[in-house]
């Protein structure tokens, strides 16, 4: 064997061995993940930055007037020994065996709401070269709708790019509505449009779509046409009936509470129809003037928001359980960052990304009431840190999606999470 053949043979063998070792490692990693059987996700979004020390991770009481750091509200015991929550979460306190507060979620984005919102929706920082998809779009892309004639992904609240499909394209986008009574924007036919007029419009649209596809080739046009086709199917009476909340029993509707509660009820109805991922926004600014962004006087009426969340979330858990959907549905209570234990000059709180709470409920998880531990001021993680990629990996793994799977932006491979590792202790 001459030198050239020897080097070529040795290199090929080494590459083969290395590739085999790498493949085996990847296979072992996937094999080690205890994939769950979740079929749907309802993400409750607390826009503004919910204070973990005033909700799911209470500490010793502080005092806003004297600016003594600590919790704003007293803590109460739950049905899980050793786990306490804020006094205004009294309904959820009685069902913490179905809930886990991840108290040690953390990231390094603290001073800008839009950037932190993007981080908690896409799992990554904003990039100048890639528009990353949201977790809702990733789930829609991987799982699709669970039934024909329904959207895979719905946003009940204000849409923005952080919630969008990014490089996955319009097919993995969302349907959105701002008001439960009005239904999805653009889908409800105005009363003045007769069946005959609607038929003429659809014939014209069909010709325009055909012309666009023939004259302008490309993925974006194809994706847009697919979206138009799906939208036309969603305008029919079968799907639109899901928004008729009046068909629900009155006592159940009243148990859910106001508009935010009605959004949660609608989420359950969408789950029943086959929607995979729903985001329900709860940042009702008219209640305390600021929503969850409790600077200054916003802190004073924060308890009203917490009570609304408690009422609607506990009712949603019970309602899903009564419909035998709780083990199939993962509830994620998410927010862009937390709040420090210290108070500002007007009694409110600033921003904190070093430690905050994201809550998981249902989904067949091994719930412990709380996971992870922070210091006396809920500022520093002491035990079991949870990165944002870890959070996303846990959600994906609960749905049977490999958190290390690669998606593609053109020819460029992009892992579905940023090297996230699922929380094994929670997965069944």
Burial of residue 268, with CB atoms counted within 10 A of its CB: 0-12 exposed, 13-18 middle, 19 or more buried: buried
- The reply to whether 163 falls in a domain is yes
- The reply to whether 426 falls in a domain is no
Question: Can you tell me the mean pLDDT for 179-206?
Answer: 71
DSSP assignment of 364-390 equals: T----EEESEE-TTS-SEEE--EEHHH
The pLDDT, as a whole number, for residue 229 is 65
Burial of residue 220, with CB atoms counted within 10 A of its CB: 0-12 exposed, 13-18 middle, 19 or more buried: exposed
- The reply to whether 406 falls in a domain is yes
Identify whether the C-beta of residue 375 lies closer than 8 Å to the C-beta of residue 382.
yes
Same domain? 125 vs 218: no
Question: Can you tell me the mean pLDDT for 83-100?
Answer: 98
pLDDT tens digits along 373-411: 999 999 999 999 999 999 999 999 999 999 999 999 999
Same domain? 109 vs 209: no
In CATH, what number is assigned to the domain containing residue 131? 3.40.720
Q: Are strands 356-362 and 373-374 parallel, antiparallel or unpaired?
A: unpaired
Provide the 8-state DSSP code for 298: G
Question: Can you tell me the mean pLDDT for 3-29?
Answer: 48
Give residue 24's pLDDT band: very low, low, confident or very high (50, 70, 90): very low
Same domain? 122 vs 78: yes
**In the chain, how many domains are there?**
2
> pTM of this prediction?
0.86
Contacts of 372 (CB under 8 A, 6+ apart): 102, 103, 104, 381, 383, 384, 385, 386
Rounded to whole angstroms, the Cα distance separating 251 from 270 reads 20
Q: Strand (E) positions, 243-315?
A: 277-281
Distances from the Cα of 86 to the Cα of 55, 57, 83, 287, angstroms: 5, 8, 11, 19
The pLDDT, as a whole number, for residue 223 is 67
Same domain? 178 vs 220: no
Look at residue 173 and tell me whether its pLDDT is greater than 70: yes
Inter-helix orientation angle 195-215/219-234, to 10° = 170
The pLDDT, as a whole number, for residue 401 is 97
Question: Can you tell me the mean pLDDT for 100-113?
Answer: 94
CA nearest to 317, candidates 281, 352, 271: 271
CA nearest to 165, candidates 152, 156, 177, 150: 152
CA nearest to 371, candidates 99, 41, 31: 99
Question: Which of 195-204, 210-219, 401-410 holds the top average pLDDT?
Answer: 401-410
User: Where is pLDDT greater, at 288 or 40?
Assistant: 40
109-113, 210-214, 303-307, 386-390: which has the minimum mean pLDDT? 210-214
Distances from the Cα of 335 to the Cα of 45, 116, 359, angstroms: 6, 9, 10
Question: Can you tell me the mean pLDDT for 64-72?
Answer: 95
Question: Can you tell me the mean pLDDT for 202-223?
Answer: 72
Q: Residue 369 belongs to what domain range?
A: 37-185+245-415
The pLDDT, as a whole number, for residue 296 is 85
- The reply to whether 8 falls in a domain is no
Same domain? 110 vs 198: no
Residue appearing with tokens 């359950």: 268
Query: Among 234, 267, 293, which residue terminates a domain?
Result: 234
């Amino acid at each position: 064997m001459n030198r050239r053949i020897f080097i070529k043979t040795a290199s090929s063998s080494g590459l083969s061995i290395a590739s085999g070792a790498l493949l085996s490692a990847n296979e072992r990693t996937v094999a080690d993940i205890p994939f769950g059987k979740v079929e749907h996700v309802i993400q409750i979004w607390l826009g503004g930055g919910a204070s973990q020390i005033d909700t799911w991770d209470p500490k010793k009481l502080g005092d806003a007037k004297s600016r003594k750091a600590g919790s704003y509200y007293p803590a109460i015991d739950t049905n899980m020994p050793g786990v306490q929550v804020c006094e205004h979460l009294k309904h959820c306190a009685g069902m913490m065996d179905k809930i886990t507060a991840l108290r040690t979620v953390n990231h390094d984005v603290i001073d800008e709401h839009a950037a932190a919102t993007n981080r908690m929706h896409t799992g990554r920082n904003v990039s100048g070269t890639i528009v990353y998809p949201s977790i809702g779009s990733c789930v829609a892309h991987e799982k699709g709708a669970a039934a024909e004639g329904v959207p895979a992904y719905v946003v009940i609240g204000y849409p923005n790019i952080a919630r969008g499909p990014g490089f996955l394209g319009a097919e993995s986008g969302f349907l959105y509505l701002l008001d439960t009574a009005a239904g999805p924007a653009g889908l409800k036919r105005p009363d003045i449009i007769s069946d005959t007029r609607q038929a003429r419009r659809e014939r014209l649209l069909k010709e325009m779509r055909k012309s666009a596809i023939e004259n302008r080739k490309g993925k974006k046009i194809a994706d847009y046409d697919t979206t138009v086709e799906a939208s036309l199917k969603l305008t029919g009476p079968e799907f639109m009936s899901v928004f008729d909340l009046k068909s629900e029993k009155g006592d159940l509707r009243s148990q859910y509470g106001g508009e935010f509660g009605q959004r949660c009820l609608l989420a359950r109805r969408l789950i029943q129809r086959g929607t995979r991922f729903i985001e329900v926004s709860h940042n009702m600014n008219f209640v305390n003037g600021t929503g969850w962004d409790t600077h200054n006087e916003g802190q004073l009426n924060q308890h009203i928001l917490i009570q609304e969340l408690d009422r609607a979330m506990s009712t949603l858990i019970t309602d899903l359980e009564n419909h035998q959907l709780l083990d199939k549905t993962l509830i994620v209570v998410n927010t862009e960052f937390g709040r420090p234990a210290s108070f500002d000059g007007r009694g409110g709180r600033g921003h904190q990304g070093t430690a905050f709470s994201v809550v998981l409920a249902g989904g067949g998880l091994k719930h412990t009431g709380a996971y992870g531990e922070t210091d006396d001021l809920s500022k520093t993680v002491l035990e079991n840190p949870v990165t944002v990629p870890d959070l996303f990996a846990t959600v994906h793994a609960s749905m049977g999606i490999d958190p290390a799977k690669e998606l593609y932006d053109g020819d460029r491979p992009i892992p579905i999470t940023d090297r996230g590792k699922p929380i094994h202790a929670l997965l069944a």
